[in-house]
Structure 1
Amino acid sequence: MNKRGQFYLVATVIIVSIIAGLAVISNYSYEKTPSKFYPIEQELRIESAKVMDYGIANGKNTNDLMKNFSRDYSINSDSDSSYFVFGKEDNLTLAGYNELNSTTIQINVGLGEQAMNFTKGQFQAFNFSNTGENIKVIISNVSYDFKLNKGQNFYFVVSKNIDGEKYVATNL
């Protein structure tokens, strides 16, 4: 009789251990990060530098080259919205593309805030001359401050919604 009781006791311990192990495994959760989105930041830094270097070395209009680069990137990337600020203090360009909806962003180039309207699915660019040293861009109620350097500048704010979360890559 003692051996029969021991058998049931061991069987019960094994069954309880299996059930507890399954409960722990099924309750385990982790946060998934969109590993494919964040390399965009490094990619844009490298590619934009190459485009600017090409323009300077070959005497091309770097603003036109950067406008073409930002348009091609915006339309062909998997991001939901892409905004770029590039150029020199005396000839600055704000360019952007929003795939999901039309939007208005605010920009302050030293002359007060101005509203820029971006139409859904359409790449648009706005030019500014005689800007200040500090640029402020407000996108979706988030302020991004850029300090203009002497010579060519290139800043970007790229975002994507993934599973209800908004991921933003920028080079600030």
Structure 2
Amino acid sequence: MSLNDPIPQEQWIPTQQVLYTQVAPDYLKLVTLTTLLMGLIPLGIALALMMVVFALALPWLLAAGLCLTLLLTLWVYISQLGAKRLGYMVREQDIVVRRGIFWRRHTCLTLSRLQHITLSQGPLERLYGLSTLRGFTAGSPHAEITIAGLPSDQAEQLRQHLMAKAGSRHEQ
């Protein structure tokens, strides 16, 4: 079977029925930390503004603080669900990335179209020993796949494996 031949329907495996590799457990901690940091700063500013500008009485300020804290808690919870939902699967001819909570998305990138792969680490990712892998295709300046939360050594192994597979596909 060549790359241009379709896969017979009896060999189709729906992406929802496949076992995905989960990202590192530390990624959940990283997502929680970044969500809290991104949420606590606006929360503090909002409460300070309410105190100064609106001169809210203490009961109203406490009620507003409680509401904002509940919203932040919900935001952290939803971010954690998204992190738990992220997974990937490498198959013979492609890589599939799964993400999403409410709107679930399965992105499939054929290895024959894979042009290059980058690994990146922000300061907090370095702290947790994690990396983000991005796969690009020809003709697109945007990453076609992004897998955050990979242990750095595993990300490097995956990058080399995918590039070797893509290279062997280009040679055929």
Q: Which TM bucket (shorter chain)?
A: under 0.3
TM-score, normalised by the number of residues in structure 2: 0.23
Q: Which structure is higher in strand share?
A: 1
Query: Structure 1 length as normaliser, TM-score?
Result: 0.23
Higher helix share: 2
Bigger radius of gyration, 1 or 2? 1
